Amino acid sequence: MFTRQLTIAAKSGKNVYENEYIKINNLPYARELNGKITIQEIFRNHWDEFKQICKSNNKPIRESIHKNVEAMINCKNFKKGYLWYECPKCGNFEIRGLSCHSRFCPSCGKKYRDARANEISKTCIYAPHRHITWTIAEELRDYFQRHKDMYDELFAAINDVLTYLIQGKSKAARIRNERLGFISTIHTFGRDMKFNPHIHTLIAECTIDKNGKRKPYTFFNYESLRKAFMNQLLKRMYHFLKKNANTKELNSFCKLRQDLFKNKGAGFYVNAPQKECRSPSQIKRIVNYVCRYAGHPAMSESRIISYNKDTKTVYYYYDPHEDDAIINDDDKQGRQYVEETVYEFIAKLIVHIPEKSVHTTRYYGFYANHSSLDTFHQPKLFKWEEISKMKSSLNWRSRLIQSYKYDPLLCHCGATMVIVPDLCFFEGYTKEDG
């Protein structure tokens, strides 16, 4: 059915033909034929049933979940609006549905993640950086699932620990207000998608004080960081629960806290793979990695192996993170495969939708927005041109050119299509695509 289009494209030159070929293969229809499974499709087919089940089980669904899921289901649905592009040379046209802009949407979430990664990159000063991962004891996870506001304590405990590291034992450092600069992002999921709140921190290996004086800081003692993090988090959780939990929950927490002090002498697991990070390109690479890694979704669609609408099952895999640290292949658990009902799958995914008010990425020390410490005179990691290039690559046309290697606006006749505002249609959406 696309022969005519491809024949015209072939006459317009090799580039145009190749572009048209990839464009056609990326149509949603063609992707479905090629067996591409999308999270959108699974939710579109089963979300109403899932809501019904929750209702009959008396399990209310949070408002922000409703909003994000419904936006995602309608992402690029022509009924909700579209943009109309036309070729000035041959009159051929192209219609594009509007994006939902939900962070939960696999395609829009990617754009959100890249935009945030750019923001972080823009902030970074020119200094080596490292990536620290902070995890909590498994027994504490339930408390965070019940008290979503307690994420603040998790972020704050890390800030306490890293501030104390510099100012705790030095009065002079306190007077000079010497601080590290770091950016923390919360993940609420592990690789298996189960609820497992932990934090990724990108930290510059230097301090800055109130006089703008900068000093390298490269020695992090992980043994003491682990213990300090555990103590500080348990202390903060105790004060939080004292205010917000009932006596029964508080008592069981106190008991658990005692057990943890007894059994986790080494503290909670804090991990920082030491990668060589000195040259500008190495520093940029690690910053890019952490930025993009920190924003990744609970489930990448490429991990879904199969989905059956009739039996209502999803089959997917994950690679356990414990394996990352193991060198010998025989000792690894290896790739894990999971088969579950679409309802279990949906339930696992939506738990990770944050409340709108929760800031999942936060800036601290000399990177904090309100910081009185001066980073203005510090050389930046990325040049202005690099930042503006990152910014322009966020627009949907550049994204398609970059990731899928085709220009959506290149017509099969070789000319470039232009938008026709009068023929565009919007329903309930205020923001334009791209």
Residues binding Zn ion (CB under 5 A): 75, 87, 89-90, 92, 99-100, 105, 108, 411, 413, 415
Contact 434, 98 (CB under 8 A): no
Q: Give me the least distance between CB of 395 and Zn ion, in Å please.
A: 15
What is the smallest separation between the CB atom of 79 and Zn ion, expressed in angstroms?
15
Work out whether strand 129-134 and strand 93-97 pair parallel, antiparallel, or are unpaired.
Answer: unpaired
Token output for 169: 């034992």
CB 337 within 8 A of CB 317: yes
Q: Which is nearer to Zn ion, 80 or 264 (by Cβ)?
A: 80
**Minimal distance, residue 99 CB to Zn ion, in Å:** 5
111 vs 129, beta carbon nearer Zn ion: 111
Is 416 in a helix, a strand, or coil?
strand
- Single-letter code of the amino acid located at 418: V
- Minimum Å distance from CB 257 to Zn ion? 42
Q: How far is the CB of 16 from Zn ion (least distance, A)?
A: 10
237 near 153, Cβ under 8 Å?
yes
Q: Which tokens belong to 243?
A: 């205010």
In the complex, least distance from residue 307 CB atom to Zn ion, rounded to whole angstroms = 19
Task: Please state the φ and ψ torsions of residue 181, each to the nearest 5 degrees.
Answer: -120, 125
As measured in angstroms, the least distance from the Cβ of 304 to Zn ion is 17
**Identity (one letter) of the amino acid at 34?**
N
Q: What share of the chain is helix, strand, coil (3-state, %, to 5)?
A: 50, 20, 35
Q: Which is nearer to Zn ion, 75 or 136 (CB)?
A: 75
Residue closer to Zn ion by CB (options 87, 193) is: 87
- Backbone dihedral angles phi then psi of residue 184, each to the nearest 5 degrees: -110, 140
Reduce the secondary structure of 94-151 to three states and give it as a string: EEEECCCCCCCCHHHHHHHHHHHHHHHHHHCECCCEEEEEECCCHHHHHHHHHCHHHH
Identity of the residue, 75 or 270, whose beta carbon is nearer to Zn ion in the bound complex? 75
Contact residues for 116 (Cβ-Cβ < 8 A; gap 6+): 291, 295, 361
Q: Which is nearer to Zn ion, 92 or 163 (CB)?
A: 92
Token pair, residue 1, equals 């059915």
Kindly state the tokens that stand for 305: 């192996």
Total count of residues recorded for the chain? 434
Q: Report how far residue 181's alpha carbon sits from residue 220's, in angstroms, rounded to the nearest whole number.
A: 14
- Supply the minimum distance, in Å, between the C-beta of residue 354 and Zn ion: 17
In whole angstroms, the minimum distance from the beta carbon of 262 to Zn ion comes to 48
In the complex, least distance from residue 133 CB atom to Zn ion, rounded to whole angstroms? 29
Smallest distance from Zn ion to CB 411, Å: 3
Quick one: 128 or 414, whose CB is closer to Zn ion? 414
Which CB atom, from 108 or from 204, has the smaller least distance to Zn ion? 108
Indicate the residue among 153 and 433 with the shorter CB distance to Zn ion.
Answer: 433
Closest listed residue to residue 100, CA positions, set 80, 123, 128 = 80
Closer to Zn ion at the Cβ: 105 or 158? 105
Spatial strand order of the sheet with 336-341 comes to 304-308, 313-318, 336-341
Q: At what angle do helices 280-294 and 106-123 cross, to 10 degrees?
A: 140
Residue with tokens 């190749």: 18
Nearer to Zn ion, 152 or 301 (CB): 301
Distance CA 409, CA 433 (A): 14
